[in-house]
Structure 1
Amino acid sequence: MACPICDGETDPKYRPFCSKRCADVDLAKWMSGSYAVPSNDPEDAEQVLEELDKKNSRPH
């Protein structure tokens, strides 16, 4: 298996990466938003969920 960042040989200590540096590069990409999981949710999904929470928290 090759390191997904630099294609170097994988080190079992940092698997699937070859080094701490490449593991940190990958983590930085996740934290900066460079990696993203596609979504089919509408852009206003958060607003809709907040409205549903408000409706569900009202006394009946």
Structure 2
Amino acid sequence: MSAASARLQRLADRMVRSGMHCGVTLSMFDRETGREMHIGVGNLDSRTPCFATGVTKLFVTAILL
């Protein structure tokens, strides 16, 4: 596990321990190297509702709503 993915994992773990989130998924993409990192922690399954962030996703969600 790289230092960046370990740091991302610690962040996700801390978010779930705070009690404000039942589960967290985080994804990162490095344009220069093409590397992707995906972290999931907590009580998540295929039926867990989630809100994806990002400028494009927020724009599409606003249109759909």
**Normalising to structure 1: TM-score of the pair?**
0.25
Question: Comparing both structures, which one devotes a greater share of its residues to helix?
Answer: 1
| Relative contact order higher in (CA < 8 Å, ≥ 6 apart) | 2
